[in-house]
Amino acid sequence: MNSTPSQSSNPLKEGLSSRPLPRPCNVVIFGASGDLTYRKLIPALYNIEADGDLPATTHITGFARRPKSDESFQHELGDALSKFSRSGRSEEIWKDFSNRLHYHASEFGNPEGYRTLAARLDALDKENGTAGNRLFYLSVGPSEFEGILAQLADAGLNKTIDGAWARVIVEKPFGRDRDTAHALNEKVSKVFAENDTYRIDHYLGKETAQNIMVLRFANSIFEPLWNHRYIDHIQITAAEPMGVEARGPYYESSGALRDMVQNHLTQILCLLTMEPPADLSADSVRDEKLKVVRALRKMSPEQVARNVVRAQYAAGVVGGNDVLGYKSEDRVSPQSETETYVAYRTFIDNWRWDGVPIYVRVGKRMPKHGTEIAIYFKETPGVLFNAQQAGLGPNVLVFRIQPDEGVSLLIQSKRPGAQLAIEPVKMDFHYKTSFGKPSPEAYERLLLDAMSGDATLFARRDEVDAAWTFIDCIEHAWHNHPNPAPMASYPAGSWGPKEADDLLAADGRVWRRL
């Protein structure tokens, strides 16, 4: 009997190099009545099953406060699946899958609930030969983490026997600054080893995000150009037409910087700019990402004022509908000073990226949904075809993370005809048409990885800490400095405030149109 937190890892299957093979296990979702379970987690597990990748003996238990029978839980999930599953719902698959869904009602702080959970899981193990493997998914607010972890430990659910494993998946936010993240990680580490802690960032599970590494390191033509000698600047945009919906209280304590930049966009930036890892194991990849986050320039309050724009949406029109301003949203303070948009200019202070500006913007209530990275290469010398004053314009490589996932490259070409006229044209790769089938949802890939012990696409503790150090400088300048940069405003349905355009205009550049 092993009485320490399990140290599971699976070196043979680790990394992006091979398809993960999940091991049979019991999945337990804490917060099973929440939106994430209905919209993402169960549809993801169902689609893993539909693709034939979920071991037949894997069972899923929802743990939440509300009393409910297995049958009514299954019924609710069945309805949700019809709405949210990317492949719809096949009755044949659903019949088998739904029989493996269970519900366990308990307060999160009630020890009895965990003792009975342990007994249920043991019984399922015996029935199905799942060998004691457990995957706990904390789909709950951060205020619940500590209590659930302590109860799991008291009930011995973090302990394993005979080579089995117990892992925990933690949803963001991982703290609200470096100190709280540190305190949270300390608590987690008392119950689960770092190897068994999977901090989920669903952007890393997106197909195009994973393709950044493949494009860079499986092709010989890009890497020689991937540095300050050939790249002029980089733009990253994450735009969504949605407002804060029903998440007012969460968003009020977060804002766009903590909600999207500390995690998703920083992770994407790391994949884009890191050095080639020594191999494709989880730690080699994460070692390289960590170096990038550490090299992100930390800004003084004066630098924040010059390089970061924060803004909040006012009432406006999105998709032809009138929408409220942020301050009038449900459970948002009418005096709120929370940003729903951020744009900033940053630099990675290392050899490869010296002097290359990276512009990032993220916002809610934008006119369109779209996340993309645009790499602007330096222009050709100002002779021959580029001798005109206006210039030909740069080559631009674009990763469309979503929607319409793909990659395009803007190149200059001669327009057919007797005259010499040069025009930019696009070489375009679309996932949908090239591979003829929809990409799996991010949560499918990440759940599969967690079940197979591959942490490559999950954030490691030191990465999270380092990302907070970068964010904390900006938050500090906004909230603790005597002269903080003012909050700008933009009408819902616009591309953000004028100040964000000015940020690029000052460098002679403009934001790319999505």
How big is the site for ligand BG6, counted in residues (CB under 6 A)? 4
Which of 152, 61, 169, 167 lies closest to 110 in space, CA to CA? 152
Q: Which is nearer to ligand BG6, 58 or 371 (CB)?
A: 371
Contact between 240 and ligand BG6 by CB under 6 A: the answer reads: yes
User: Which amino acid belongs to residue 416?
Assistant: P
Contact between 259 and ligand BG6 by CB under 6 A: the answer reads: yes
Q: Which is nearer to ligand BG6, 197 or 267 (CB)?
A: 267
- Residue whose pair of structure tokens reads 């089938």 in the numeric block: 437
**Beta-strand relationship, 488-491 and 166-170:** unpaired
Instruction: Quote the least distance from Cβ 301 to ligand BG6, whole Å.
Output: 26
At residue 271's C-alpha, the angle toward residues 266 and 277, to 5°, is: 130
Contact between 14 and ligand BG6 by CB under 6 A: the answer reads: no
Q: What residue ranges in 187-340 does DSSP mark as E strands?
A: 197-199, 231-240, 308-314, 316-318, 321-323
Which value, to the nearest 10 degrees, does the dihedral of the CA atoms of residues 98, 103, 448, 430 take? 60
Which of 261, 387, 243, 246 lies closest to 318 in space, CA to CA? 243
Distance between CA atoms of 139 and 78, rounded to whole angstroms? 19
Contact between 441 and ligand BG6 by CB under 6 A: the answer reads: no
CB 26, CB 122: distance < 8 Å: no
Each residue of 291-310: b (16+ CB within 10 Å) or e? bbbbbbeebebebbbebbbb
Q: Which is nearer to ligand BG6, 25 or 204 (CB)?
A: 204
Q: Which of residues 360-389 bind ligand BG6 (CB under 6 A)?
A: 371
Q: Which of residues 184-213 bind ligand BG6 (CB under 6 A)?
A: 202
User: Which amino acid belongs to residue 108?
Assistant: F
Residue nearest ligand BG6 (C-beta atom): 259
Cβ within 8 Å of residue 193, ≥6 positions away = 4, 5, 6, 7
Contact between 35 and ligand BG6 by CB under 6 A: the answer reads: no
* Catalytic annotation, pick one of 182, 264, 476, 479: 264
Instruction: Quote the least distance from Cβ 380 to ligand BG6, whole Å.
Output: 35
**Radius of gyration for the alpha carbons in the chain, expressed in angstroms and rounded:** 24
Q: Which is nearer to ligand BG6, 155 or 272 (CB)?
A: 272
Instruction: Quote the least distance from Cβ 474 to ligand BG6, whole Å.
Output: 18
Q: Which is nearer to ligand BG6, 282 or 362 (CB)?
A: 362
Instruction: Quote the least distance from Cβ 259 to ligand BG6, whole Å.
Output: 5
Active site residue 264: yes
Q: Which is nearer to ligand BG6, 104 or 202 (CB)?
A: 202
Instruction: Quote the least distance from Cβ 321 to ligand BG6, whole Å.
Output: 18
Active-site residue list = 264
Q: Which residues lie near ligand BG6 (CB under 6 A)? A: 202, 240, 259, 371
